[in-house]
Chains A and B, each alone.
Chain A
Amino acid sequence: MSDNVNDSRDRAVQSPRRGGPMGGGPMGMGRMSGGKAKNFKKSMGKLIKYLQPHLLYIVISLIFMAGATVCSIIAPSYIGKLTDEIFVSMLGRAIDLTAVASFGITLMVFYATSLILNYLQAFIMAGVNQKVSRRLRSDISRKINVVPLKYFDGHSYGDTLSRVTNDVDTIGQTLNQSISSLFSSIIMLIGVLIAMFVTSWQLSITAMLTVPLSLILIMVMMGFSQKFFRSQQQALGEINGHIEENFSGQSVIKAFNGEEEAQEKFGVINKKLVNSSKNSQFLSGLMMPIMSLVSNIGYIAVCVVGGILFVNGSITAGVIASFFVYIRLFQNPMMQIAQAAGNLQGTAAASERVFEFLDEKEKEDESEKFKKIETVQGKVEFKNVNFSYDGVRTIINDFSATVQPGQKVAIVGPTGAGKTTMINLLMRFYEINGGDILIDGVSIKEMKREDVRALFGMVLQDTWLFDGTIRDNVVYAKKGVTQAEIEEACRAANIDRFIATLPNGYGMELSDEVSISSGQRQLLTIARAMVQNSPMLILDEATSNVDTRTESLIQDAMDKITKGRTSFVIAHRLSTVKNADLILVMKEGDIIEAGSHEQLLSSKGFYSELYNSQFSLESV
């Protein structure tokens, strides 16, 4: 159990972002976002649809931002006036302190207004942002339950998980910044430009001279550092893979004396990583000094040209002072636009992944289907069933059989023979391609999925419990279950005694830290099926992974629950197989034989071979 404790601690330390801890470094260019979108416009278009309901807020916030930006553009001109007032001192005159105070107060008002507007803007956008992220997450979660199961044949859970958390996080983090900063930077750029030219065209041109220089430098630097960043990410991925592989394969490495080889390979990758990380750290750290050099050059140029103009008498000292501020205001938005553009790429890439999932085809709509079975007998007919997972290889070919109410069907076959296929079809996790399955004469295709599933109780071998109390797990989604019913089900499932030994009994919280053996888990899921009390059953017998005593408890519980119910059992036990009314023998996905134990044995087919090799006593 200590493993789990360690695990959760590890997770807590990990950064939730995909960018990782090396995302450009503290003085770098902000977070590098994960990858590029294949179709920028399309992904952004879809994202904008999510923003639409909040359009009013966005517009208000942008107006606030524009106001704040205008404040910060106008302020420097007052700095100029203030400077002019103070500058007279250089000419030997006294400063008019009341004028200074009045400009000072005006400036305070501007700064305060700017602060308030800026903050209101951030406040509103944060709200919009969370609403959008939240809806995206909800939509993904809802979507998980409406995409056909087939989808997950081709996509790992981890992939979907990372869309819920990482990608939505990326969108949430970058969207806010990029929209706001793009907008404010553009206003700022235009505003400062106008203000500069109004103040002094000569100095404006001087300041503008640094623009191409900084643009080129930004481009070059970004290109370089992204290249190294990518190669660093690659080396990082490689080394993480190697470490993972080695640590989890420790036993084999030791037993086969593979330590040295592993060490060598590690050394090679590590060296590559050290190199690329050095370069990428260095380059992303270069951005700051280079940009500050550019801004210094602009500053010096303004100093010099301004000084000359002043000597000529064409400008005042205050103009120079305002320009010092303008230069700073002018440099920032260019950096920000470059960054926002990069961020938007990341937003687009993340939204693309999110929308890829949200746009997945959903299961067919069934609101038109009304057929229901009121009192279930439990007769199941397979009529010429055809099925294929991929549409290419037919794995169930023209299968027909009838199961009478209350009968037991055993599904047997070697590992990987596709025994769960039958469950998938019966429960309509997958749709059959041809033929029909009828329950009490009604085609399952004519019923709603929920109504079909309500007919079956299900116990799978990979027992699924969730974080919650024992009671929650037994009751699950069923409503109006009394404590007496729960206890009754647990007694029948032979788990009542175990529950009685737990600190909180039925109220005991299950979590990673609580140890429950796989046998006990299985019994709990049987209790869950008992509470459900469905007319038919699907069971997956435990293999040898539980100790013998628990296994007999499970067996006993399974016998009880199948009594009187039509049941389909993926069988591993000989007694179950022998007593079944119908045995379906599966091999490589297909049902190759069907019949009773005696029938199948006498036909001397695959079943008899399997039976003999599995259970015979003769020595190898």
Chain B
Amino acid sequence: MFKLFKRFKPVDWCLVALLVGVVVAQVYFDVTLPGYTSQIVREMTAAGATWRSILNIGGTMLLLALGSMVCTVIAGYIAAFLASKFSGKLRGDVFKKVQSFSFEETSRFSTASLITRSTNDVQQVQTAVMMILRMAISAPITAVWAIMKINASSGELTLATAAAVVILVVFIVGMFVVVLPKFKLIQKLTDKLNGVTRENLTGLRVVKAYNADGYEERKFEKTNTEISKTNLFVNRVMGLMQPVMMLVMNGISLAIYWLGATLINQGSLDYATMMAFSMLTMQVLMSFMMLTMLFVMVPRAAVSAKRINEILESDITVKDPDEGIPFVTEGEVEFKNVRFKYPGADDYVLDGISFKVERGKVAAVIGSTGSGKSTLVNLVPRFYDATEGEVLVDGVNVKDVKQEALHEKIGYVPQNSVLFSGSVRSNIAYGNADLSQDGLEKSAELAMADGFINDMDGGYDAPIAQGGKNISGGQKQRLSIARAAAFNPEIFIFDDSFSALDYKTDRAVRANLKEQTAHTTGLIVAQRIGTIMDADMIVVLEHGKMVGKGTHKELLQDCDVYREIALSQLSGEELGL
């Protein structure tokens, strides 16, 4: 948590100092006010008291109250300003850092976790910073100052106050000790309840098909009972909080009166001072309540802070060179004895990969799930870096050029089509702001997307929802392909990008690519034999090793793995065997 405070700049610290000043002023007003109550009491009983003198004291009190409010408002504004600015900066830093992550870091954290960290966790921290700024400064000052005032005239009453504080703090802490683990349990049970419900929902057809409604409901009921019981317990314990706090507050007032009466009789105190005491005592109690809350809340935010720090402090594995070297050739991709493993892993995901694709040629990568196909093509745009060996693009090692320059050359179509909220146009022209209408339409035609785009309401300006939720999987894939085509790259990378297309469209898109982008080099990952049969070169992977390299015909002859894959999809007679 405190590591994050290092991000405060000198200007911010100045503001914090100002905040402390304002808070001290506010506390001064607050602790002085009760003294005037005593004055009024004294004035009332003094000989020759007039309504004018009482009114005068009242006026002073009003000024004090106003002063306190003004200070609180200013302090509140400074705190809100600092907390929001701080969290805004933090959010920005986290966002920037994550953007610079390679796939390695992203998969280490998982995308879902990165999202919660940069949204929810940042909010938690902001709330905590706000609380610290508001309460951690004013509460101790108030408590100390008020206690000093009380102590100055009566040690006995100070003791009474201390007793009340101890009771209150012990009570609140005790309560949280009992309840906090239950809170965690409730969170877990809520997850479980969600899980059971989600299970029922996602398996609705299966549940119905097996007539298992009752089974599912019983399962739900079990968790439901558990969560209700735990909730009930927590609510009943927490229900004590308010009444007991009321009792302590009322009790301390009463104690002061009672004790005060004895002290007054002894002559060591007068009524007016006692009045002021009972008010100061309230302030002390309130301060300690706030401090206790702070101690309960801050550790929770500290967990969030730690999770944010993990992002900010993690090293980036894929870095740009200081100075990029120029490319030598055009449209060439070469793997030289490439090996790759995830950091900390024992086994290589890719091992001994060597092949070269020349300009305008198409290389395909095939293999079963988990054989490392996607990882292989991800090395080209440096989503990962090869552990050993070299990946060359246009004759130079990809590690020796700036990523931006490298990416300029690549038209990448991911496995899961990524679309952004915006329009059809903004998606196709992504990273390519000055794309002409003509270029836009051409790319769409190439990807066989023009048909459905024209059918959409608004055509090229039709809205696309976040993640492309408003169009089908095949349409998303075609838009992704159009986007890559519009980029006019030297090298295409298709990471299993034809899987959601039906066979006819798949064929047509590939025919268009061949015809219209003849000079563009292609790197295709596919599962379907049909998609890659006509590639200039096919690389066959199994368990990360290259077990075959050649054309379809060659591989059918002399690569067992390839033949097995082919036969699982097509009959021998169809393969011409």
Q: Mark B92-123, 1 if CB is under 8 A from A, else 0.
A: 10011011010100111111111111111101
Given the complex, which residues of B lie within 8 Å of A307, measured CB to CB? 40, 43-44, 49, 51, 54, 58
B456 at the interface (CB under 8 A from A): no
Given the complex, which residues of B lie within 8 Å of A241, measured CB to CB? 421, 466
Decide: A548 and B564 in contact? CB cutoff 8 A.
Answer: yes
Decide: B113 and A6 in contact? CB cutoff 8 A.
Answer: yes
Interface residues of B in 232-259 (CB under 8 A from A): 232, 235-236, 239-240, 242-244, 246-247, 250-251, 253-254, 257-258
The complex places the Cα of A263 from the Cα of B96 at a distance, in Å, of 7
Decide: B198 and A311 in contact? CB cutoff 8 A.
Answer: no
Decide: B487 and A86 in contact? CB cutoff 8 A.
Answer: no
| From B117, B197, B229, B412, residue with most partner A Cβ within 10 Å | B197
Given the complex, which residues of A lie within 8 Å of B177, measured CB to CB? none
**How far apart are A199's CB and chain B's nearest CB, in angstroms?**
18
Interface residues of B in 457-502 (CB under 8 A from A): 466-467, 472-474, 480, 483, 487, 493, 499-502
A438 at the interface (CB under 8 A from B): no
**How far apart are B422's CB and chain A's nearest CB, in angstroms?**
10
Decide: B191 and A118 in contact? CB cutoff 8 A.
Answer: no
Main secondary structure of the interface of B (DSSP, over half): helix
A467 at the interface (CB under 8 A from B): yes
Decide: A95 and B251 in contact? CB cutoff 8 A.
Answer: no
The complex places the Cα of A7 from the Cα of B117 at a distance, in Å, of 11
Decide: A22 and B126 in contact? CB cutoff 8 A.
Answer: yes
Given the complex, which residues of A lie within 8 Å of B243, measured CB to CB? 114-115, 118-119, 122
Decide: B135 and A26 in contact? CB cutoff 8 A.
Answer: yes
Given the complex, which residues of B lie within 8 Å of A252, measured CB to CB? 412, 414, 418, 430, 480, 483
With A122-B236, A248-B111 already in contact, the answer to whether A282 and B116 are too (CB < 8 A) is no
Decide: A254 and B66 in contact? CB cutoff 8 A.
Answer: no
**How far apart are B20's CB and chain A's nearest CB, in angstroms?**
17
With A289-B73, A466-B199 already in contact, the answer to whether A547 and B370 are too (CB < 8 A) is yes
The complex places the Cα of A127 from the Cα of B112 at a distance, in Å, of 37
Q: Of all chain A residues, which has the CB nearest B95?
A: A266
Q: Of all chain B residues, which has the CB nearest A271?
A: B88
Decide: A75 and B264 in contact? CB cutoff 8 A.
Answer: no
B510 at the interface (CB under 8 A from A): yes
Decide: A157 and B528 in contact? CB cutoff 8 A.
Answer: no
Interface residues on A, range: 35 or more
**How far apart are B172's CB and chain A's nearest CB, in angstroms?**
14
B149 at the interface (CB under 8 A from A): no
**How far apart are A9's CB and chain B's nearest CB, in angstroms?**
7
Q: Of all chain B residues, which has the CB nearest A16?
A: B190
Q: Which of B3-11, B201-209, B349-357 contacts A (4 or more CB under 8 A)?
A: B201-209
Q: Of all chain B residues, which has the CB nearest A261?
A: B431
Q: Mark B279-312, 1 if CB is under 8 A from A, else 0.
A: 0000000000000010001000001100100000
Decide: B431 and A256 in contact? CB cutoff 8 A.
Answer: yes
Given the complex, which residues of B lie within 8 Å of A310, measured CB to CB? 44
With A89-B265, A250-B106, A289-B76 already in contact, the answer to whether A303 and B61 are too (CB < 8 A) is yes
Decide: A297 and B250 in contact? CB cutoff 8 A.
Answer: no
**How far apart are A341's CB and chain B's nearest CB, in angstroms?**
20
Interface residues of A in 231-276 (CB under 8 A from B): 236, 239-241, 243-259, 261-263, 266-267, 270-271, 273-275
**How far apart are B324's CB and chain A's nearest CB, in angstroms?**
14
Decide: A152 and B204 in contact? CB cutoff 8 A.
Answer: yes
Decide: A25 and B303 in contact? CB cutoff 8 A.
Answer: no
The complex places the Cα of A22 from the Cα of B124 at a distance, in Å, of 8
Q: Of all chain B residues, which has the CB nearest A449?
A: B208
Interface residues of A in 1-44 (CB under 8 A from B): 2-3, 6-16, 20-22, 25-27
Given the complex, which residues of A lie within 8 Å of B202, measured CB to CB? 157, 464
The complex places the Cα of A444 from the Cα of B487 at a distance, in Å, of 55
Decide: B108 and A2 in contact? CB cutoff 8 A.
Answer: yes
Decide: A548 and B565 in contact? CB cutoff 8 A.
Answer: yes
Decide: B247 and A115 in contact? CB cutoff 8 A.
Answer: yes
Given the complex, which residues of A lie within 8 Å of B49, measured CB to CB? 307, 311
Given the complex, which residues of B lie within 8 Å of A145, measured CB to CB? 200, 204, 207-208, 213, 216-217
Decide: A86 and B473 in contact? CB cutoff 8 A.
Answer: no
**Which among B209, B408, B419, B565 is the interface contact of A456 at CB below 8 angstroms?**
B209
Decide: B127 and A21 in contact? CB cutoff 8 A.
Answer: yes
Q: Of all chain A residues, which has the CB nearest B369?
A: A547
Q: Mark A401-434, 1 if CB is under 8 A from B, else 0.
A: 0000000000000111000000100010100000
Given the complex, which residues of A lie within 8 Å of B44, measured CB to CB? 307, 310-311, 317
**Which among A138, A161, A321, A476 is the interface contact of B210 at CB below 8 angstroms?**
A476
The complex places the Cα of A616 from the Cα of B83 at a distance, in Å, of 65
Decide: A243 and B115 in contact? CB cutoff 8 A.
Answer: yes
Interface residues of A in 537-570 (CB under 8 A from B): 538, 544-548, 551-552
Given the complex, which residues of A lie within 8 Å of B329, measured CB to CB? none
Decide: A296 and B91 in contact? CB cutoff 8 A.
Answer: no
Q: Please, could you name 22 A-B residue pairs with CB atoms under 8 Å apart, sorted by A?
A: A90-B270, A104-B258, A118-B243, A119-B239, A126-B239, A138-B221, A141-B224, A248-B418, A251-B381, A255-B381, A263-B99, A282-B80, A289-B76, A292-B69, A297-B62, A300-B65, A303-B61, A304-B40, A415-B502, A466-B203, A476-B210, A545-B527
10 shortest interchain CB distances as A-B pairs: A256-B431, A122-B239, A547-B368, A477-B212, A304-B58, A414-B502, A289-B72, A274-B88, A255-B412, A296-B65
